[in-house]
Amino acid sequence: MKRVALLGSVLALAFAGCGLITTPPIANPFQLAGKTTTFTLGPTSQASGTANVTATFDDLTSLNLPAAPSDFTYNMAISSVSFGQGCPATIPSPISVTLNATLTLSDGSGATVRSAEATATNVQFTITTTGSQVTVGSITNGALNLNVGQTLPIIQNGGTNTAVLAAQITTQSTPDLAGCSMTITWGGGQGVLRF
């Protein structure tokens, strides 16, 4: 019995060293849920646009961590998409979207501003429309890997924090969306700590 317990402890340490043990997902860690970003898509056959969204959030004081994590991954989420001025009367379907995003976290603790940044490129998702119903498909490549040594001090202490998500999108559809304004309502996403 002692050998089984010892083997279990050794395996747990080995898995932790490989990053195979994770915390339960941290829902909406940067309070981006419900924040909106409006893109005015440029006049090309692959309409593109750039915009930012900013959110503030309090320290995450309930992260009772059993050991020092080796990785912090934020999986972005999109709640919905809507279309505004300059769009075709009938929104095309499907619309393929490629997104590049940079997430910057910061706080102003004391005399020094601390920050951490991560980028995701070639994030893909598809928008389908049926009448006035707009559906966003699953996101691929939407993980932002933050430096855990920079991120944890920001999100665990120092007071109010800021998250800025800067995104650039390119759309492909027939007809194209050149001149159209497209608004993304962000989901909260999930943060995952690996040990």
* Total structural domains within the chain: 1
Mean pLDDT value of segment 111-133: 92
Position 158: which residue type? G
Residue 141: per-residue pLDDT: 96
Q: What is the pLDDT of residues 50-79, one digit of tens each?
A: 999 999 999 988 877 777 888 999 999 999
Q: Is 61 helix (H, G, I), strand (E, B) or coil?
A: coil
Question: Is 168 within a domain?
Answer: yes
How far the first Cα of the chain sits from its last, in Å, is 27
Q: CA 79: distance to chain centroid?
A: 12
pLDDT-based confidence at residue 95 (cuts at 50, 70, 90): very high
Quote the tokens at residue 135: 């559906």
Query: Would you tell me how many other CB atoms lie within 10 Å of the CB of residue 45?
Result: 12
Question: Is 160 within a domain?
Answer: yes
Mean pLDDT value of segment 33-59: 90
Q: Is 77 helix (H, G, I), strand (E, B) or coil?
A: coil
Question: Is 153 within a domain?
Answer: yes
User: What are the φ and ψ backbone dihedral angles of 22, each rounded to 5 degrees?
Assistant: -125, 160
Q: Is 150 helix (H, G, I), strand (E, B) or coil?
A: helix
Domain span including residue 73: 23-194
Give dist(CA 101, CA 99) in Å, integer.
6
Give dist(CA 153, CA 66) in Å, integer.
16
Residue 3: per-residue pLDDT: 47
Question: Is 148 within a domain?
Answer: yes
Question: Is 149 within a domain?
Answer: yes
Give dist(CA 120, CA 192) in Å, integer.
16
- Where is 55: in which H helix or E strand? strand 48-57
Of 132, 38, 37, the residue nearest 85 (C-alpha): 38
Question: Is 8 within a domain?
Answer: no
Question: Is 7 within a domain?
Answer: no
| Residue 2 confidence (pLDDT) above 60 | no
